[in-house]
Amino acid sequence: MRLVTYLVFTPLILSAFAVHAASGGVRLCVSAGQLFPETPEALQQSVRRLLDEATAPAPTEPLLACIVPHGPYGISGKVAAESFKHLKKGQFKRVIILGASHAEMAFEDCSIAAVDAYATPMGLVPLDQKAVRTLCYSSLFGARSMRYAHLQRGFLTESERKPLHEYEHSIEIILPFLQEQLGDFELIPVLVGKLNDGADRYDERRAEAVARILQKQIDRETLVVVSTDFTHFGNDFSYRPFNDNIFEKIEALDKTGFERLAMNDTAEFEDFVTRSRAPICGLNALRVLLKLLPSRAQGTMLGHELSGRFYNDENRSVSYGSMNFYLSDKPRPKPVVAAPVEKASEKSKPALEPARKTVTNLSNIRKSGE
C-alpha cells in the first residue's frame, strides 16, 4: 500500500490533524498500516501482546537508556518490547529519542521536527517545546518544518523541498510502546545526521558537543532511547564480508558489537566499527549515546533477531537488537569476542556512514525488513 493511499484513505487521521498539520502543528504518522497496525485498538492490542510475551528480567538498578530497533512490529516488535517491558506509568516524564534518518537528503548534525506533537493511532505525543527551543539555540540542532502540500498529489515537484521528517519512521515507531507503558510524557525527537569534519569524515568532537548540549536536558525523569537497527548485510547495503554460515556469522558480529556497547567504552565500540565496517543506520546516534552515558552505566542485551532468518533470505538481512543501560557499581566487563571480527575486504566496505535510501513508500520498508 502506498503511503499516499494510506494518508488519503484514513479519514480519522486526516480529519483530526489535517488543518493543524498544515500549519506545522502535528507530525503525521506514516507507519500505521505499514509497520504497525493502523487502528488504535489493533495497535494497542499488538503492543500489549508483545510486552506480555517479553521475557526480560525485572531490573534491580536504575534505568538510564535503551537501544531499540525500528523494523516492522511483526519482526522487530518483540525485540523492542524487551527493553520496554518493565516501564511504569509516570516513571519518566520526558523521553529523548535519538533516531536514524533514512531520508534521501543528507544533513549535518541534528534535526528536530518543528511541530507541537507526534501523532500515532493511539493519540498525540506532545513535544517539550522549552527543551526543543533551548537545543535549537545551538548550531548543532536545527528545527525543520513539515511540508505536506504534496499529499493530495502523491508526488513532489522538482521545486519542492525534499522531505526529511515527513516519512521518517525511526522515531514514531517507538512511540506506541512508550504511550502504553508511560502514559503521559513529553518528547524530544532528534534525528542524528552526519557528524563530520571539514574533510567529511566522522569527527568524534562533534558527537561530544552534541552530547554536552543534550546532557543539560537530562534528569532522573528523562529516558534516552536510541532507535537503530544493527548490521545491514547483503549486496543491497554493499556489505557481504562472508558467504557461508551467514546467519551464524551475522549473529557473532552483532554480539561483538553489542558487547562493546555494553561496556560503555567509546574506544572499544569504535574499534568494532573500524574493523567490521558493518553498516548501522543509527551509528551516529549510538556514538552520541556513549558520550551521554555516565561512566557507571553498563548495558544488558535483551533481544535479538535477524530479518534474513525471519524471511529465510541469506542474501539480505537487517539485524534487530535491544539493550538497556543501567546505573551500576559492578566492575566494567571486558569484551568477550564470540568470533574474530576481521577487517572487511575492500569490496565489502561501505562508507562509514551507509548511503541513505530514499524512503517515500513505507511498503518498501515492510518488504525489506528494515
What would the pLDDT profile of 70-104 be if each residue is shown by its tens digit? Answer: 999 999 999 999 999 999 999 999 999 999 999 88
- For range 124-149, the mean pLDDT: 94
Residues above pLDDT 90, as percent of the chain:
75
User: 157-164 long-range contacts, Cβ below 8 Å, gap at least 24?
Assistant: 162/103, 162/104, 162/105, 163/103, 163/105, 163/360, 164/101, 164/103, 164/105, 164/107, 164/111, 164/191
Q: How far apart are CA 222 and CA 65, in angstroms?
A: 9
Task: For residues 68 and 117, give the distance between their C-alpha atoms in angstroms, rounded to a whole number.
Answer: 21
Q: Give the pLDDT of residue 18.
A: 43
The CA distance from 237 to 216, in Å, is 36
pLDDT exceeds cutoff 50 at 125: yes
Residue with grid cell 554480539, as numbered in its chain = 255
The predicted pLDDT at position 105 comes to 82
Tens digit of pLDDT for each residue in 159-198?
667 889 999 999 999 999 999 999 999 999 999 999 999 9
Q: Output the pLDDT for position 109.
A: 97
Is the pLDDT assigned to residue 295 strictly greater than 60?
A: yes
**What mean pLDDT do residues 328-350 have?**
56
Residue 240 pLDDT grade (very low, low, confident, very high; cuts 50, 70, 90)? very high
Global pTM?
Answer: 0.85
For the segment 133-143, the average pLDDT, to the nearest whole number, is 97
Alpha carbon 11 to chain centroid distance? 28
Q: What is the pLDDT of residues 197-216, one digit of tens each?
A: 999 999 999 999 999 999 99
Q: What's the number of CA atoms in the CB half-sphere (13 Å) around residue 298? A: 13
Confidence check: pLDDT of 54 > 70: yes
Q: Decide if 141 contacts 174 (C-beta within 8 A).
A: no
Helix (H) or strand (E) holding 156: none
Chain centroid, CA 37 distance in Å: 19
Average pLDDT, the chain: 86
Give 180-204 as a DSSP string: HHH-S-EEEEEEE-B-B-TTSSB-H
> Which residues 6+ apart lie within 8 Å of 331 measured at CB?
none
Helix (H) and strand (E) counts in the chain: 12, 12
pLDDT at 270 over 80: yes
Q: Give the per-residue pLDDT at 358.
A: 33
Quickly list H helices, the chain: 3-8, 11-22, 40-53, 78-84, 129-135, 175-182, 204-215, 246-262, 266-276, 283-292, 307-311, 362-368
Dig out the grid coordinates for 74 from the structure: 511483526
Whole-number Å distance between alpha carbons of 67 and 268: 17
Question: Which domain range does residue 229 map to?
Answer: 3-368
In this predicted structure, the answer to whether residue 294 has a pLDDT above a threshold of 70 is: yes
- Summarize the confidence of residues 270-280 as an average pLDDT: 96
Contact (CB, 8 A) for 93 and 185: yes
**Ramachandran category for residue 121: left, alpha or beta (phi over 0 → left; psi -120 to 50 → alpha):** alpha
Angle formed by the axes of helices 40-53 and 175-182, nearest 10°: 80
- Local structure of residue 25 (DSSP, 8 states): -
Tell me, what CATH number does 20's domain have?
3.40.830.10
Q: Which residues of 320-355 are buried (b: 16+ CB within 10 A; e: fewer)?
A: bbbbbbbebeeeeeeeeeeeebeebeeebeeebbbe
Count of the separate structural domains present in the chain: 1
